[in-house]
Chain A
Amino acid sequence: MATSPHRPPAGLSRRSLLGGAAALAAVPLLSSCVGFNTSGGKAGSLDFLSTQFTPVEEKQRFEKVLADAKVNAAYNAVEGNVFASTLTSQAEAGSVQVSLAGAMHGELAPLADRFTDVDGLLKGKLAQAEYPKDLLELAKAGGSTAKYIPWMQASYVVAVHKRALEWLPSGADVNSLTYDQYLDWAIAARKANGSPVFGFPAGPDGLYARFVQGHLLPSFTGGQVTTFRSADAIDAWKYMKELWANFVPASTNYDNMQEPLAKGEVMVAWDHIARIIEAPKGNPDEWLLVPSPKGPKGLGYMLVVAGLAIPDGAPDPDGATDAILSLSEPDVQIEVLKQNTFFPVSVTELPDDLEGATKLAAEAITAQREAKDAIMALPPVGTGERDGEVTAVFQNSFRQICLDDRSIKSVVDEQAAELQSILDDLKIPCWAPDPAEAVCEVG
C-alpha cells in the first residue's frame, strides 16, 4: 500500500472539524453526571477511609456495626497502597476529603505527619478507657504526641485441624508447644501423610515477615533488632530452614491461611487471627486454635494494633471525633469482636457469651498473652515511610535462607547491614522486645 503525499482540498480540514464538533456536542449528554456514589454513604456522611475489613462479608458486617452505633460514614475499605497514595495526594494537593482514617499501626505510622494530634482526646473524653500502655506509646508513631487513637487489636495464633492431632509427638501438649515439638510434629505428619500438612503464609501478601519479627526471633533470641546477628539468631534460622522443608511447598502462594486450611491442603498453620478465623467458623468442633510455640527464650508473639486518625485539614473533624468516640464505646468494641474477630483495646474484660470460632480465638489469644514466659513483640515503631523497607529485610532474609538456600551467615550479615543503614537514617529508639535504647542499633 504505497501512500504518496498529495494535497487534499482545503475543505477537508474545516468540514471534518464541523463533523467533529457535532459529535462533540453529543458527548456532554453522556458525561453530564460525574458518576454514582459507591461507598454507601448517606447525605452528610463523612469519608471514612480504611484498610481494615476489605473482605466483602467483613465489610458488610462492619457497615452494620457503624449503622447500629449511629455513625453516619461512607466506609471505604481499600488496600494499603491506595490508602497511602490517596491520603498523600490529597494532602499534597491541599484538598483533603477524608475525615477519618483507620488502618494498622504500620500503615498509619508512615503518614504520621499528615494527621492531627489527638492527645487532647485521649486525655479528655477517652481518659476512662483502659488502653494498654504499649499501645499508647505506639500511637505516638515515634513522636511525642499521640497521632491516632487505638481502635482494635489482634495477634497471631496457630490453627490446628483435629485430624492432625494423631501425629502429635508423645508428651507434647498442643496448647503449650515448644518449637522443637512443632518441628517434630511437622516431620511426623509429613512422613505419615506422604506429603507435608503444615502451611505458612509466605505469599506476596502473606504475613510471614511478622512471624520472623514477632515469633521466631524473639522466641530464640529474646530480641528483634539488637540480636539480629547473634549466634541465637543463626540457630533460629537453622531451625526455620528445617521447619520450612516440612511445609507445603505451595506456601509461597498463600496470602492467608484460612483458604488452604478450609480446603484441606493444610491442616496446621500459623497466621493472623483474622486470616484464620474463616476456616473454623463453619465447623468449630473440628478445629483448635492454640498459642504460638515457645522457644529457648520464651513465647514470642506479635501484637497487632489498628488505629483511627484524623487527617490534617479534614473537612469534618468534629464528625470524625464523634465517630472515634462511638467506635471506642466498650459495647461497640465487643460487637466488632463478635462480628469480625478483632479484639477490643478500650476494655480489658471480655464477655463470657462468646461462641464458636470467636470463643476459640479469644481463648488462644488470652492464653498466649498470659503465658508466664510471654515475650510481646511489636511491629517496627517509628520507622515511618521506611516501614516497608524494614519489613523487606525480614522477608528477604527468609527468602534467601529458606528458598534460595544461601549461607545463613552471609545473608544475616548482608541484611543486618541493610537494616543498619535504614536505622542510621532514622535514629529512633528500639521497640519491644528490644530494650528502648537511645538509638536503635543492629546487634
Chain B
Amino acid sequence: MTTSDTAATPTRGNSAALRAHRWRRFGVQVACLAVTAFMAIPIYLIAVAAFSSRDALNEFPRALWPSDLSWDTMGTFVSSTGILPAFGNSLIVGVNTLVWSLLVGAPAGYALARYAFRGREPYQLFLLFTRALPIVVLSVPMAQLFLSTGVYDTTTGVTLLHTALALPTTVLITAAVFVAVPRDVEEAAQIFGCSPFSAFVRVVLPLALPGVSAASIFTFVLSWNEVLGAAVLTLNRRTLPGQVLSTLQYSPEAYRFAGGFALIVPAIIFIALMRKYLLNMWGTTLR
C-alpha cells in the first residue's frame, strides 16, 4: 500500500508516483464502469422490451438491442383508460407526501440530533414499530377508518397512508443529517445575532440540504411505488402503480414491460432533478 492519495497531486519530478497515480485513476474508472454496467443494463433491457413488438419478445434467442422498434404496446398502454389521470394522481400524492413528511418529520429529526432526552430510543423504536407491520395487514382497518371519515378514494387518503409509511425514514435520515452539521456553526451564528430560527434556516439548512434531499427522494419514490395500500384505499382515483401494475399482472409480457418502463421514467426524471442537491457539496458541475 502506498501512502499517497488519489486526491493529492504528485509533484512533477516523481515519475514513479505519477505512474502509480495514473494507474489508480484508471482502476477507479474501470470499477466505476463495471458498477455502472450492472446498474444500467437491466434498465436498458426493460426499455428495449417496452419498445419491442410482441413477436420480437417471443423469439429465442432474443435480440439484445432494439431490432424492430414498435410503438404499438406503449401506445396502447398510454391510451388505455385512466393511465394519464392516474399519472396525475401519483404526482399529487407523491409531492404532498414529500411536503407533509418533511413538515412533520424534519423537526423530530432535528430534535433527535440536537437534544438528549429521555425516551429517545423508545421514540425511535415506536417509529420503526409502525413500519415493521406488513401493509397488507394494516390496509383493511385503515380503509374502514377512511370510509367513516370520508377520505376513502381520494388522493388525501393515500397521502396520509404514504406519509405514515415515510415518516420513520424521514425522521431517521434527517436526524443523521443534522447530527453531521457541526453544532458550533449554529452557535456561532447565534453569537453573531441570529435568532435560533434564522440560524437554523441560514446556516443549518444549507449544510443539511443534501441529506434532506436524500430523504425527500426516498419519500417520493416510496410513494410513487407503493401499490398494495393504495389499491385498497382507492377505487375510482387510482395511483399509477395501482392502475398499472395490478391490472397489468395478467396482461401480455409486452404490456407489463411497457407499464414497468412507464413507471420508471418519471422517477428517473425526479432523481435527475434532485441530483444536483445531492452533489452540491462536491462542487461537481454536471452538464
Contacts and interface: CB of A to CB of B under 8 A. Distances in A.
Complex A–B touching at CB under 8 A: yes
A304 to B, nearest CB: 15
A54 B183 contact: no
A92 B100 CA distance: 30
B250 A54 contact: yes
B6 interface: no
Interface in B234-248: 234-238, 243, 246-248
A278 B252 contact: yes
Interface stretch (A6-14, A115-123, A395-403): A6-14
A interface secondary structure, majority: mixed
A47 interface: yes
B152 to A, nearest CB: 8
B285 interface: no
7 contacts: A12-B196, A36-B86, A54-B246, A54-B247, A76-B236, A77-B247, A95-B148
A117 to B, nearest CB: 24
Q: Which of the four size classes fits the interface of chain B?
A: 35 or more
B232 A89 contact: yes
A35 B231 contact: no
Nearest to B236: A39
Task: Identify the interface centre among A16, A89, A95: most chain B CB within 10 Å of its CB.
Answer: A89
A128 to B, nearest CB: 33
Given A47-B235, A57-B76, A1 B247 contact: no
A411 B195 CA distance: 74
A93 B155 contact: no
A34 B201 contact: no
B229 to A, nearest CB: 11
Contacts of A39: 81-82, 235-236, 238
A34 B195 CA distance: 39
Contact of B81 (A16, A59, A259): A59
Contacts of A60: 76, 80-81
Interface stretch (B13-21, B91-99, B206-214): B91-99
A140 B76 CA distance: 39
Interface of A: 1, 3-5, 8-9, 11-12, 15-16, 19-20, 23-24, 26-27, 30-31, 33-41, 47, 49, 54-57, 59-60, 63, 74-79, 82, 85-86, 88-90, 92-95, 97-98, 205, 255-256, 258-259, 262-265, 275, 278, 282
A205 B183 contact: no
Describe B's contact surface by its main secondary structure.
Answer: helix
Interface string B95-113: 1100110010001000001
Contacts of B70: none
B113 A38 contact: no
Interface string B136-175: 0001100110011000111110010000000000000000
B266 interface: no
Contact of A34 (B103, B154, B250, B255): B154
A95 B144 CA distance: 9
Contacts of A282: 55
Task: Kindly name the residue among A16, A33, A39 whose own CB sees the greatest number of chain B CB atoms within 10 A.
Answer: A39
A34 B93 CA distance: 10
B130 interface: no
Top 3 closest pairs, chain A to chain B, by CB: A93-B147, A38-B82, A36-B85
Given A93-B148, A258-B252, A264-B60, 7 more contacts: A24-B103, A47-B235, A54-B250, A56-B80, A56-B255, A57-B252, A57-B255
